Amino acid sequence: DAGVTQSPTHLIKTRGQQVTLRCSPKSGHDTVSWYQQALGQGPQFIFQYYEEEERQRGNFPDRFSGHQFPNYSSELNVNALLLGDSALYLCASSLAGSSYNSPLHFGNGTRLTVT
Amino acid sequence: RKEVEQDPGPFNVPEGATVAFNCTYSNSASQSFFWYRQDCRKEPKLLMSVYSSGNEDGRFTAQLNRASQYISLLIRDSKLSDSATYLCVVYDYKLSFGAGTTVTVRA
């Protein structure tokens, strides 16, 4: 049973560049959420995708965008990178219709460093 | 005010000890509550859900106090493997994570 997989595991980018992170949900899951975790902080909700649409969004600027594909996999895109975007980006999958009590299954994350 | 606040610790306890810590949340309409565990440089993993009447899972006991808007986690008979950061998670329209409480169990 494949869990949540994310790629790449590490990434180094320069300020102003753009980055795309990828996520495949756990087998059987159809909802993907993205979180940003800065060092020493808890994960911060970016947005959630279901049925290829953004269903909920946290307090992140429009530079952060995403996409979900028909096979439920998802991408997170960040434009015009800032130094403050350096963080661990976590993808989590779950089953729709039970978000309030459905446990999230997290991937190992992508560690993004912006220089 | 942060949506979810936790004492960052660290709580440094000997094996076999009991350790307990709280988390407060700001939205009184929050529907669901969880504790997640995160090991160093790893992804968070669900430890347990928190039910209104309180619940146990082995050595772990979670309590919810809606009136005061806090939840707690108690770990009995601490093991070395319990060393981790414990994240308090609250659901309103999304899952909001606290910054975590670090627990270190020493031999």
Q: What count of Cα atoms within 13 Å lies in the side-chain half-sphere of residue A23?
A: 33
Q: Tell me whether A98 touches chain B (CB under 8 Å).
A: no
Q: How far, in Å, CA of A107 to CA of A98, rounded?
A: 20
Convert A38-75 to b/e letters by CB count within 10 Å (16 or more is b).
eeeebbbbbbbbbeeeebeebeeeeebbbebeeebbbb
Least confident of A51-60, A75-84, B33-42, B90-99: B90-99
Q: Inter-chain contact A106–B34, Cβ cutoff 8 Å? A: no
Token pair belonging to A107: 């991937």
Residues of B in contact with A99 (CB under 8 A): 91
Of A43, A103, A108, the CB nearest to B46: A103
Residues of B in contact with A58 (CB under 8 A): 94
Mean pLDDT throughout B58-81? Answer: 96
DSSP, residue by residue, chain A: ----EEE-SEEEE-TT--EEEEEEPPTT--EEEEEEE-TTS--EEEEEEETTEEEEE-S--TTEEEEE-TTS-EEEEE-S--GGG-EEEEEEEE-TT-TTTPPPEE---EEEEE-
Mean pLDDT throughout B83-91? Answer: 95
Q: Which of residues 1-60 of A touch B (CB under 8 A)?
A: 33, 35, 40-45, 48, 56, 58
Chain segment A46-57, per-residue pLDDT in tens: 999 999 999 989
B78 CA: distance to closest CA in chain A (Å): 23
The residue ranking higher by pLDDT, B66 or B93, is B66
Chain segment B3-32, per-residue pLDDT in tens: 899 988 899 999 999 999 999 999 998 888
Per-residue pLDDT, A99: 53
Q: How far, in Å, CA of B94 to CA of A57, rounded?
A: 8
Per-residue pLDDT, A97: 58
Mean pLDDT of chain A: 93
Q: What percentage of chain A reaches a pLDDT higher than 70?
A: 94
